Amino acid sequence: MKDGVFIVFEGIDGSGKTSLAEEVVRALSGVAGVSAKLTFEPHDPSSAGIFIRQVLTRKIANVPNWTLALAFATNRADHCSREIDPFLRDPDDGATHIVVCDRYYLSSLVYQSDDNTDFDRVMELNKSARRPDLTLFMNASNETCYARMSKRDQPRELFEQGLTAVRDKYLEGIDYLRARGETIEIIDAEGSFEEVLTGTLRRIRDHLEGLTPFSPPLLVPVTSERTLAAEPESIDDYCRDLIGSETLQRPTFDALVRKVDESVDALRPQEVAGMCIDLIARKGYNPGDPVPWLDLNALTLECRLPLGVTQHGAVVVLGETQRYDTVLGKLLQGDSVATLKRMSDFLFLIDTNPGHLVPEQYGERESVAFDAEASLSPSIVLIGRERLKTEVFATIVSLMGDSWPDSTVASERLLQASNFADIKRVH
């Protein structure tokens, strides 16, 4: 089967590319025969991702362009090999797979090249990166971009300045990549969001007709996030249902691993969210009411410790096209940082998307300014399907007990493995 389609969104800061990429993925997901995935760069879970994010947020200063170019190239190679390529080369469901990426190596040409590092040298570092089928450059004026950035209520990152010079360099980079045979469209991003989105979808529709075996209809913009039910769903009940299925009557270890892998991948986002909330509750965090001061899908959490100490936090369920780095930025910066005063101990982010890179990502507490005061951000844990697979596997092993022929080897390997990928690897 032919590989899927790789679409990249580029643009100077404030051009609207991130919001447009999210809406495009929603629209593509509504087309029959299409499976669409949103991703972004720098990709925090991939190699060097956290280092890059710290540089961009000025926590690490005075980093040479060449060092950043190496870091981005490493991040991109890992991002491609573990996230983008596997999704585009997955033929199992018969759908056309489309990855939409917010920034790619055109941004590296712009931000990491200088008098000592030309475009050729940057591209040499990125020679193993997958080539986009279509790159869309969102072109908006400085006035429009600055006006949009002013609404973010966040401090500017390292490169969010000097927009005229940055735009000129983007246009140079576009000419350079076009000369290498790449397809790059420049989108007028000056209009209203709905106008720009409609024009972008039409460009994508026209391009897809030549790349995929289907002819998509005129794509209709979708402007509201799909909400997920933030209600616990019992992992025990789910596991009992799996044990009762014909395929798990006294299974081998390998058969159980495959069944858990396939069944959790097939769960709807709402089911993943509910079971992850149950997983969190199993660890001693008690879900409460919806968080009233957040415009996110979130529940309050409490954790009771010895000596009458109670810690407070929250669990946030990411929508199908929400990015956890954007959500964290919303929580940790600007006036809305006061939110953290009410859940200052811990924060769980549930990513329901399929095939997420990191089974569980943990972030230590950092110093954050609350108005004129200095305090600590919450400890942050990102969980998703891979972490859920480990819990489901362990629960099934426990429920089947010693009567199961492979119970001993399964228990031993659970002790050896730090995540479900390890369980699959050692069997």
Q: Count, in order, helices (H) and strands (E) of the chain.
A: 16, 13
Percent of the chain whose predicted confidence (pLDDT) is above 70:
73
- Same structural domain, 304 and 196: no
Q: Is 161 helix (H, G, I), strand (E, B) or coil?
A: coil
The overall average pLDDT reported for the chain is: 79
Strand partners, 235: none
Q: What is the pLDDT of residues 209-225, one digit of tens each?
A: 766 655 555 555 554 44
With a cut of 50, say whether residue 160 has pLDDT above it. no
With a cut of 90, say whether residue 320 has pLDDT above it. no
pLDDT value of position 90: 64
- Same structural domain, 172 and 40: yes
- Same structural domain, 103 and 14: yes
* Domain-embedded: residue 45: yes
- Same structural domain, 299 and 251: yes
For residue 118, name the pLDDT band (cuts at 50, 70, 90).
Answer: very high
* Domain-embedded: residue 403: no
**How many domains, the chain?**
2
pTM greater than the 0.75 cutoff: no
What burial letters (b/e) apply to 59-94, b meaning 16+ CB within 10 Å?
A: eeeeeebbebbebbbbbbbbbbebbbbebbebeeee
- Same structural domain, 71 and 111: yes
pLDDT value of position 382: 83
* Domain-embedded: residue 126: yes
With a cut of 90, say whether residue 73 has pLDDT above it. yes
Which residue, 191, 208, 225, sits at the end of a domain? Answer: 208
* Domain-embedded: residue 352: yes
Which CATH number fits the domain that encloses residue 48?
3.40.50.300
Strand partners, 39: 101
- Same structural domain, 47 and 176: yes
- The 8 Å CB, 24+ separation contacts for 83-91 are 83/39, 83/43, 83/46, 83/355, 83/357, 84/6, 84/39, 84/130, 85/130, 86/355, 87/4, 87/37, 87/355, 88/3, 88/4, 88/5, 88/6, 88/130, 89/3, 89/4, 91/1
pLDDT value of position 328: 65
- Same structural domain, 198 and 239: no
Q: What is the pLDDT of residues 177-215, one digit of tens each?
A: 999 999 999 999 888 888 899 899 989 988 887 666 555
Range of the domain at 265: 235-385
Nearest to 100 by CA among 248, 230, 207, 246: 207
Q: Is 163 helix (H, G, I), strand (E, B) or coil?
A: helix
- Same structural domain, 172 and 290: no
Rounded to an integer, what distance in angstroms lies between the CA atom of residue 193 and that of residue 206?
Answer: 20
- Same structural domain, 327 and 372: yes
Q: What is the pLDDT of residues 343-359, one digit of tens each?
A: 457 788 888 876 544 44
Tokens 């069997």 appear where? Answer: 427
* Domain-embedded: residue 417: no
pLDDT value of position 226: 41
* Domain-embedded: residue 410: no
Rounded to an integer, what distance in angstroms lies between the CA atom of residue 169 and that of residue 251?
Answer: 59
- Same structural domain, 179 and 241: no
pLDDT value of position 232: 67
* Domain-embedded: residue 220: no
- Same structural domain, 304 and 379: yes
Q: Which residue has the higher pLDDT, 185 or 269?
A: 185
pLDDT value of position 186: 95
With a cut of 50, say whether residue 336 has pLDDT above it. no
* Domain-embedded: residue 426: no
Surface-to-core class of residue 95, CB atoms within 10 Å of its CB (0-12 exposed, 13-18 middle, 19+ buried)? middle
- Same structural domain, 30 and 134: yes
With a cut of 50, say whether residue 237 has pLDDT above it. yes
